[in-house]
Amino acid sequence: MSQPALQRITVLGSTGSIGKSTLEVIAKHPERYHVYALTAHTSKEALLAQCKVHRPVVAVLDHPADAAWLQQALLASGLSIEVLAGPEALCRVSREVSVDTVMAAIVGAAGLLPALAAAESGKRVLLANKEALVMSGALFMDAVARSGATLLPIDSEHNAIYQCLPLEHRGGLRQHGVRQLLLTASGGPFRGWSAESIATVTPEQACNHPNWSMGRKISVDSATLMNKGLELIEACWLFDATPDQIQVVVHPQSVIHSMVAYDDGSVIAQLGNPDMRTPIAYGLSWPERIDAGVETLDLFQVARLDFEAPDEMRFPCLRLAREAMLMGGAAPAILNAANEVAVDAFLDKRLGFSDIAAVVANVMAEPYDGRADTLEQILAADQWAREHAALIIQQQVA
Ligand SMILES: NC(=O)C1=CN([C@@H]2O[C@H](COP(=O)(O)OP(=O)(O)OC[C@H]3O[C@@H](n4cnc5c(N)ncnc54)[C@H](OP(=O)(O)O)[C@@H]3O)[C@@H](O)[C@H]2O)C=CC1
Ligand SMILES: CC(=O)[C@@H](O)[C@H](O)COP(=O)(O)O
Ligand SMILES: [Mn+2]
């Protein structure tokens, strides 16, 4: 058997939940994958530890003082690794000519520019950072098409749908006999709770996802169902679908990661343990399969699979996201930015849980007359929404 081609990889957000899982899978296959760059925001000790194990060529931190600290610590450990600082360095390690694959696993809008840089440079882009696509869907997909990049979804639901679709699904789902995409949702930690109980939950409760271990921002998004809203927009762009072709199905066990319904009545599903190493390994090795270190699903232990409709009255964020996608233009970027500001405020205990949806709804209700065709316009809409959300939160607190 021939040796697989070696992939040189940049892991954006390597100190996060997805970043760490990515490095676990990479470490199992040293003959296939070499790390080119590792990046973090402020977690310098964690990045130092990762550098010692994975020996990247470059490491990136946000602040120059942190980068200087890391450079010193690496030299003291006898490691010659180049350390860079700042957002432009993230784009540089995404674009680097010798890099084949970029794992885009920075959380939030901060991940947009380096993910886009990878898409524009024709890389294999492993996209976990759903906010990038929500903000810049048309622009991002256009960059992929023009550069010939290979875009592989890492978000578990989209990875599942990708696995359930025919190989060539581009250019419309209908012509491939696809009737609907069934996007599964766990329902989050507050599924079935009354509106009154939901209103008083703490960040710790919101971050305690029933099935997945994830970063704090996405955990809160799962709890409000904004995660499913962002994923609906993400699916529209990835699979060239309209919101009405996507049905959200609450499935509390998170064992079916999503499904595709076909014209002949077939429903094809992808199942597995709720462990992100599976979609990560799929993205790394596609079109082959590698060991991800994940056990085969024990169906006898799962025993039952439940399904219900999402409750958009108690969890309005899903409806807000669908409306943003239907509005188009800058609306998804505005939704995303307002949500990021509101989630930050909730995690800081400056805002109640139910106020997250209220802040997003209020920002979306404000008239915005800008377009969202260019990156500059998208970033302007993002900035506008952040300012409005901050103002609304300030007024609520005052
Ligand atoms: N976790 C999961 O299971 C899933 C996550 N996703 C998506 O993947 C992305 C990452 O999620 P997750 O791993 O949970 O997030 P985490 O919060 O665990 O990790 C985020 C990573 O991004 C870095 N980062 C944060 N802010 C910045 C910034 N301003 N500039 C540069 N780097 C930054 C962090 O560095 P530092 O450590 O220094 O803060 C960290 O490495 C999100 O978009 C999420 O929606 C999608 C599906 C599943
Ligand atoms: C693992 C993953 O992809 C997350 O986005 C997960 O789906 C969150 O779960 P819910 O949003 O369905 O609660
Ligand atoms: Mn998901």
Task: Identify which of 117, 351, 153 has the alpha carbon closest to the alpha carbon of residue 237.
Answer: 153
Mean pLDDT estimate for the chain:
97
Sort 225 into a burial class: Cβ within 10 Å, 0-12 / 13-18 / 19+: buried
Give the pLDDT score at 1: 60
Q: Can you say whether the dihedral through the CA atoms of 97, 102, 105, 111 is positive or negative?
A: positive
Give tens-digit pLDDT for 38-85.
Answer: 999 999 999 999 999 999 999 999 999 999 999 999 999 999 999 999
CA of 185 to the centre of ligand 3 (A): 8
> What are the domain boundaries of the chain?
7-153, 156-313, 328-398
Residue 165 has pLDDT above 80, yes or no: yes
35: part of which helix (H) or strand (E)? strand 33-39
Residue 170 has pLDDT above 70, yes or no: no
Of all protein residues, the one whose alpha carbon is nearest to atom 5 of ligand 2 is 155
- pTM for this one? 0.98
Maximum CA extent, the chain: 68
Tokens of 94: 């995404």
Is there a common fold for 7-153 and 328-398?
A: no
Q: Sheet harboring 267-271: ordered strands across?
A: 246-250, 178-185, 256-262, 267-271
Angle, helices 375-397/130-147, rounded to nearest 10 degrees? 180
> Residues near ligand 1 with C-beta < 6 Å?
13-19, 40-43, 62, 105-107, 110, 128-131, 155-156, 212, 214-215, 217-218, 276
Fold category of 328-398 in CATH = Rna Polymerase Sigma Factor; Chain: A (1.10.1740)
Instruction: Output the CATH code of domain 7-153.
Output: 3.40.50.720
Q: Is 222 near ligand 2, meaning CB less than 6 Å away?
A: yes
Give tens-digit pLDDT for 178-229.
Answer: 999 999 999 999 999 999 999 999 999 999 999 999 999 999 999 999 999 9
Could you give the ipTM of this predicted complex? 0.99
At residue 5 the predicted structure's pLDDT band, cuts being 50, 70 and 90, is confident
